[in-house]
């Protein structure tokens, strides 16, 4: 599954900024008042600074809605909102004449019809790689994006951003099971089939040069895994099959590819919210 996106692509420097810029941006914001000395501001300059600060400030109504729907505190919501706006700025571009810019059409929590920006696939990929240590192949990365993008707008909206992070950082095991299953259910029909297992695993496994037919090895592995997961013996894995298997062996939660952050990555990210 190709993810070519020339207009939305970012440079290597941009990718690094996604990884390091967030923490530096937040640290700089906290320290600015104590370490910077600036000349007296004119009225015009003060207005520009005020406008810039307001652009990164989450409205109280939105903050309250997010607080009700997630486990984040008000201070955490403010920080995550700033990060969201920072990431959106990386892929903002002018709308084509006669067309609506997709980065301006996703919904805001509490305002379903409001115009709002979003994070595109390229920036989202960099966030998963560089912030949450999720390094995986294109198909699985695309599936993670699709599951986060509940509005099917081809962007991660503000609402999707907070709900996705809530699951990533503080989601229960039951929520994580449902998330992983939805990611692996490629055609969204409620089942993981052998064909879907094969597609997910064939690009994740290390190919050895001496193997005459690497795909046969993948098929053999899929047969073994299917026997493990298929509790009702109907040659496909339902959500109930998946839940029962993970309850027995929690280490199989991400059997078909990494789609959740490591504990270390979660702890590091949460530390930036304090």
Given a contact cutoff of 8 angstroms between Cβ atoms, the answer to whether 19 and 100 are in contact is no
Residue pair 157/107 in contact by the 8 Å Cβ criterion? yes
How do the residues of the chain divide into helix, strand and coil, expressed in percent and rounded to 5?
60, 5, 40
39 Cβ neighbours under 8 A, 6+ residues apart:
none
List the domain boundaries for the chain: 12-31+42-94+101-135+154-170, 178-252
CA atoms in the 13 A half-sphere facing the CB of 235? 1
Q: Which residues pair with 119 in a beta bridge?
A: 156
Distances (CA, A) of 189 to 24, 137, 184, 255, 260: 42, 22, 11, 19, 22
Residue 185: name the closest of 259, 123, 247 by CA.
259
pLDDT in tens, the chain (274 residues): 444 444 444 444 444 444 455 555 444 444 443 444 445 556 555 555 455 556 678 899 999 999 999 999 999 999 999 999 999 988 765 343 344 444 444 444 554 444 458 999 999 999 999 999 998 888 999 999 999 998 899 999 999 999 999 999 999 999 999 999 999 999 999 999 999 999 998 876 655 555 566 788 889 999 999 999 999 999 999 999 999 999 999 999 999 999 999 999 999 999 988 7
Any idea which residue has 């700025």 for tokens? 89
Task: Find the DSSP H helices in 56-157.
Answer: 60-69, 74-91, 121-130, 138-148
Of 90, 116, 120, the closest CA to residue 19 belongs to 90
Fold observed for domain 178-252? Recoverin; domain 1 (1.10.238)
């Amino acid at each position: 599954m190709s993810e070519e996106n020339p207009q939305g692509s970012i440079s290597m420097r941009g990718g690094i900024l996604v990884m390091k810029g967030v923490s530096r941006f937040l640290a700089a914001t906290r320290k600015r008042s104590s370490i910077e000395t600036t000349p007296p501001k004119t009225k015009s300059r003060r207005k520009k600074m005020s406008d810039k600060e307001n652009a990164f400030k989450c409205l109280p109504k939105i903050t309250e809605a997010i607080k009700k729907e997630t486990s984040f505190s008000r201070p955490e919501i403010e920080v995550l909102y700033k990060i969201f706006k920072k990431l959106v700025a990386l892929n903002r571009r002018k709308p084509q004449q006669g067309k609506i810019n997709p980065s301006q059409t996703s919904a805001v929590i509490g305002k379903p019809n409001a115009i709002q920006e979003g994070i595109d696939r390229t920036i989202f990929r960099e966030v998963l790689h560089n912030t949450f240590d999720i390094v995986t192949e294109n198909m699985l990365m695309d599936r993670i994006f699709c599951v986060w993008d509940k509005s099917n707008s081809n962007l991660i909206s503000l609402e999707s951003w907070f709900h996705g992070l809530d699951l990533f950082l503080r989601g229960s095991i039951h929520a994580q099971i449902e998330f992983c299953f939805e990611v692996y259910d490629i055609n969204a029909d409620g089942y993981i089939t052998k064909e879907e297992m094969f597609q997910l695993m064939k690009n994740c496994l290390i190919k050895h040069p001496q193997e005459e037919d690497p795909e046969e090895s993948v098929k053999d592995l899929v047969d073994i895994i299917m026997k493990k997961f298929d509790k009702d013996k109907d040659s496909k894995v339902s959500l109930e099959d998946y839940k029962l298997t993970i309850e027995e062996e929690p280490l199989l939660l991400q059997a078909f590819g990494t789609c959740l952050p490591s504990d270390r990555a979660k702890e590091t990210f949460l530390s930036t919210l304090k």
